[in-house]
Chain A
């Protein structure tokens, strides 16, 4: 029987009740802007943790002969650094920005499959926590026992979660664009997200398949390589290592170029041309997905120069496809994207973030190609690690730029440009300082502790996770690199603090403070739950610029 409490009042709920309701709203949200911010927030938190681990490893490496940590701890910390930077920071950060802004850019009123995207976020978060627990218990790559099984399964969960969210974004781009917005008219960032998510859909399931093989083998068979090569503790590095190294990681940096192009065009106040060439450049970068699909390292053999024509061709074709065309693509997209800023002599903080992130992406893709030239003997050295960090920092800088550019569409207030501009420079300086010494040390054969070298594929490179001695000035390079990571961490922490301050009580932003060109600027700041009151009909790639005849120009 239903009863009515006569003492019930109609007064407003208590502060605790309101707080709980707010938490419940966030936990059960299917609003793409909130989901995106959940991803960004969680990965920012993860970045702080993983960067702290990287700092610890850097300090350990400064003195090559003094060992603070034992082999097992070091091995797991290196694993945490690599796994964390890729799947707890880089991918979710990029996906978070995409989730939060792509539906607005394409003029959609909501995300396609929002519950799937939400489930993806929570699966990713659960998998991430379990993976960290497994690594802490010596279960990561080259680890031991049942926690190794937990790590493999939780990595699968992380990947499935990310794939679910990527699938939702991809479907949104393909099915919910505003009338008139064909694929040639989508904003550059949306295009880059389309390419990146397509690549993820193709590449990540291959890694999932290999991890499932590894799980079944390790779960039921003792770690005996003679009985089953997939059950040994080193199998993860050997058979699934492609998912934790270049060129697979290049895929996740693709949206950096889309952000650069969008921010640069808006800063310059011009239509960025030629769109087709920039689109093509971004798409070429997606060819790196073949590197993951092939499940092997696409390299030029050490004796390439002396090899016969047939062997050369056999090496060159896949190398050119996976590394060469990708490097060309990122170069083209970067040059055309940045040139408009030089021509217009205008710069905003978002565009600066974009250019610096683009520079890092260019460096990362180029060094990825270089590291796969066999004669250079760079695989297994810190060059590879430096390349990964370059790509990760490119994504981090782009995400910082994205928050300063689009943040007002998510929470309605701006980030002060005078604070974010120096942060962009600080983060870039830190990123260069963190990565360049590692690249140089790689040429001097400093071994990387991540995924100890596999004798069969890297003869001569020894499995020495704690032996950082090499022929160069180890202390100097490792000290510089550590300071660089510290600077990036500092920049991110200050940026997060600024973002929180802006979120809590920042200066209210206008609907179109940057004089934007694309549809996200046609709605209010912050954007309402369903983004747009009405659906816009699009007649060009810059639908808002069409309505601003005074600033209309061609680049």
Chain B
């Protein structure tokens, strides 16, 4: 058998980070496609002379705005976790990851609160079903984010402190969610 020069088995290059980036790209496509269809349906409904939102629907803006604002500390804490992990600072990394998870849970709670306040029947029409589908997908992504935070925290606090790329990947995922929700907030809650 022919043989090239050999090298010791190299560690894979940031596999989790790259994998998460690919997942974020797929997620961006998912949200982008859904928001594009939302905009198209809205334009079509208005162009046909009808109304897009049911007349009696009121979108509670306060929790929606709070959800958007929550992403600022989420991003800060996620980056804090990266910063601390790079310095092998276990307590701060753990605290930062816990805060991200807690704020993620608060985000999910706020979304559930919006659902309960709007009292929007899912079978009420096009707006209703699309609203639940779009916001539901983002809520599912946030649940995945909270699980990601928990897994990252358990791995790191369990002793795998060299897995810093997992903490970086975790931060990237929450940045992606922040960007996704910012667009959704503007399209669904502001311009409606």
Contact residues of A with B, CB < 8 Å? 109, 112-113, 116, 163, 167, 170-171, 174-176, 179, 201-210, 212-213, 215-217, 220-221, 227-231, 239, 293, 295, 511-512, 522-524, 534-539, 543-544, 546-548
Contacts and interface: CB of A to CB of B under 8 A. Distances in A.
Given A213-B133, A230-B130, A512-B2, A170 B22 contact: yes
Interface of B: 1-10, 12-15, 18-19, 22-23, 25-27, 29-34, 36-37, 41, 122-123, 125-126, 129-130, 132-134, 136-137
B4 to A, nearest CB: 4
Closest 3 CB pairs of A and B: A206-B33, A205-B30, A534-B6
A301 to B, nearest CB: 19
A537 B9 CA distance: 11
B9 A216 contact: no
Given A212-B133, A295-B36, A112 B126 contact: no
Nearest to B29: A205
Contacts of B10: 179, 535
24 contacts: A113-B15, A170-B22, A175-B12, A175-B14, A201-B22, A201-B26, A206-B30, A210-B33, A213-B129, A216-B129, A217-B133, A220-B129, A228-B126, A230-B126, A293-B32, A295-B36, A295-B37, A512-B1, A534-B7, A535-B8, A535-B9, A536-B4, A536-B6, A547-B4
Nearest to A110: B12
Q: Which of B3, B12, B125 has the most CB of A within 10 A?
A: B12
A228 B123 CA distance: 9
Contacts of A231: 129
B133 A167 contact: no
A109 B134 CA distance: 40
Nearest to B36: A295
A524 B3 CA distance: 12
A203 B29 contact: yes
Given A112-B12, A174-B18, A176-B12, A206 B125 contact: no
Contacts of B37: 209-210, 213, 239, 295
A204 B134 CA distance: 17
A532 to B, nearest CB: 9
Q: Which of A208, A212, A293, A524 has the most CB of B within 10 A?
A: A212
Contacts of A536: 3-7
A278 to B, nearest CB: 23
Given A171-B19, A175-B15, A511 B29 contact: no
